Amino acid sequence: MRFDQPLLEGTLVRRYKRFLADVKLRSGEEITAHCANPGSLLGCAEPGNKVLVSIHEDPRRRFKHQVEIMYSGRTAVGVHTGRRSAVVTEAITQGKIGELAGYATLKREVKAVRDNSIDMMLTGNGLRPCYITVRNVTLAYEGVGYYPDAIAAKGSQDMHVLTDLVREGSRAVIFLVVQRSDVESFRPADHIDADFGLAFRDAVARGVEAMCYRAKVTRKGIELDKKIAVDLGA
């Protein structure tokens, strides 16, 4: 996934109302940009941090600027949650993800029974259907990526949905996309949401596949880079 045009560099002034961020551009101009990530963005959304924004001239948009990347120290972190689907879809269709290769069709935004947390479904070629839920990982300490970055009841529920799909005979995958380059392994964030950690390990024990890939985040674009280890150590 490449950005259509060069990103503008600026400094985060403040983030508010979940989806908005005031940014002071290098030109000195202060703008309000849309930030398509209502999560806590722990460690990234600090006032004074460097950010990169894209420009969209679509007249229907209320905010022409879109926050794409925030810096945590010197590390670029992709914060646009909408990009993850594009990045993962691209990697799957290009066959970059061995575990998910060989399917004939990929459907996005699939509805699982009584829930809508499934991001995509792979089918065809006589294989069991494979349901995938994709999560963004933006939080990291000392080379380890963590999810979630805030307590979320929905996170645990998603794990139960995936477990149910496995029980019904399908493949179910939780696909973690780490949108920062300073991470070598992934762990559930027990210190933030212990329930999620339990649900995550339970789901894996029951056959849900946990895959974690690191994305290369640059001002040119975002693409999956390499697979990293999922550490279940309690």
Partner DNA sequence: CTTCACCTGGATACCTCGCA
Partner DNA sequence: TGCGAGGTATCCAGGTGAAG
Interacting residue ranges for DNA, rule: CB under 7 A? 17-20, 34, 36-40, 56, 58, 60-63, 66, 81-82, 84-86, 107-109, 111, 116-117, 119, 135-136, 148-155
Report the nearest approach of DNA to the CB of residue 106 (Å).
10
Q: What is the Cα 49 distance to its own chain's centre? A: 20
Strands across the sheet containing 229-230: 139-141, 144-147, 185-188, 229-230
Quote the least distance from Cβ 51 to DNA, whole Å: 16
What's the min distance (Å) between Cβ of 151 and DNA? 6
Give the residue with the Cβ less far from DNA, 115 or 231: 115
Backbone angles phi, psi at 164, to 5 degrees: -60, -40
Terminus-to-terminus CA distance in the chain, angstroms? Answer: 35
CB of 82 to DNA, least distance (A): 5
Q: What is the DSSP letter of 160?
A: H
| Whether the Cβ atoms of residue 3 and residue 68 lie closer than 8 Å to each other | yes
Q: How far is the CB of 215 from DNA (least distance, A)?
A: 13
Nearer CB in complex with DNA: 63/232: 63
Q: How far is the CB of 157 from DNA (least distance, A)?
A: 8
In terms of DSSP bridges, do strands 209-217 and 222-227 run parallel, antiparallel, or are they unpaired? antiparallel
- Which of 25, 152 has the CB closer to DNA? 152
Q: In three state form, how does the secondary structure of 108-141 look?
A: ECCCECCECCCCEEEECCCCCCEEEEEEEECEEE
Phi, psi dihedrals of residue 196, rounded to the nearest 5°? -65, -45
Q: For residues 188 and 147, is the Cβ–Cβ distance under 8 A?
A: yes
Closer residue to DNA, CB minimum distance, 101 or 153: 153
Nearest-angstrom CA–CA distance, 133 and 93? 16
Nearer to DNA, 5 or 126 (CB): 5
Q: Which is nearer to DNA, 111 or 128 (CB)?
A: 111
